[in-house]
Amino acid sequence: MKIISTEFNGLKIIKTSIYKDNRGFFKEVTKNKITKNYNFVFDCMSFSKKNVLRGMHFQKYKAQAKLITVAKGKIFDVAIDLRKNSKTYGKYFSITICGDSDFSILIPKGFAHGFYCMSDDCVLHYKCSNYRHEKSECTLAWDDPDINIKWPCSKPILSKKDMNGLSLAYIKKNKLT
């Protein structure tokens, strides 16, 4: 395993060991030496169909670090830095990940996260450093012009919650991070 830093402090690509043969593959997702400082306490999975966009989600009071691994399919993954004192505040990181990719994404606390399903369907596995806390959940608008994410689709399938995401300006003004 290898840790690759990005321009976003704390956001890392975890390059994993993957072993392929005629039967398929076996992938090591993480090791304690990489994640020991994150205290992951909650695992969850999501299933999405083609053209579904989930995001941009964050928890305002009980922030979560996340380790994102694609188990099946192909996604366009996005993390937006919402840490007030960060030099990359309001900027986004994006990457395409497939089920057979040899890496996962480690997103620190203080980021909004979302993804777009590019394949017929996709399955994601999340390791989270905090439990889901409904009263703390917020959604940043996936199409906020101040962030200007270059999504691979202009008319994704969205949940009602994701259709009503807040602007970055509103989040700043109301100190939601």
What is the per-residue pLDDT across 1-40, written as a single tens digit (0 to 9) for each? Answer: 888 999 999 999 999 888 888 988 888 887 777 777 888 9
pLDDT at 35: 75
Catalytic residue among 113, 116, 126, 133, which? 126
* Tokens 């962030």 found at: 147
Full-prediction pTM beyond 0.85?
yes
All structural domains of the chain: 2-173 (2.60.120.10)
pLDDT per residue rounded down to tens, the chain (177 residues): 888 999 999 999 999 888 888 988 888 887 777 777 888 999 999 999 999 999 999 999 899 999 999 999 999 999 999 999 999 999 999 999 999 999 999 999 999 999 999 999 999 999 999 999 999 999 999 999 999 999 999 999 999 999 999 999 999 999 888
Apex CA 55: angle with CA 123 and CA 174, to 5°? Answer: 155
Q: What is the pLDDT of residue 93?
A: 98
The helix or strand, by DSSP H or E, that contains position 162, with its residue range, turns out to be helix 160-163
Our answer to whether residue 125 is catalytic in this structure is no
Residue 31: the pLDDT is 74
User: HSE-up of 39 (CA within 13 Å, CB side)?
Assistant: 5
Given 19, 38, 57, 170, which residue is catalytic? Answer: 57
Q: Is residue 129 a contact partner of residue 138, using CB atoms and an 8 Å limit? A: no
Query: For tokens 């090791």, what's the residue?
Result: 31
Task: Let me know if 172 is exposed, middle or buried by CB neighbors in 10 A (0-12, 13-18, 19+).
Answer: middle
Is 92 one of the catalytic residues?
no
CA distance 126 to 91: 22
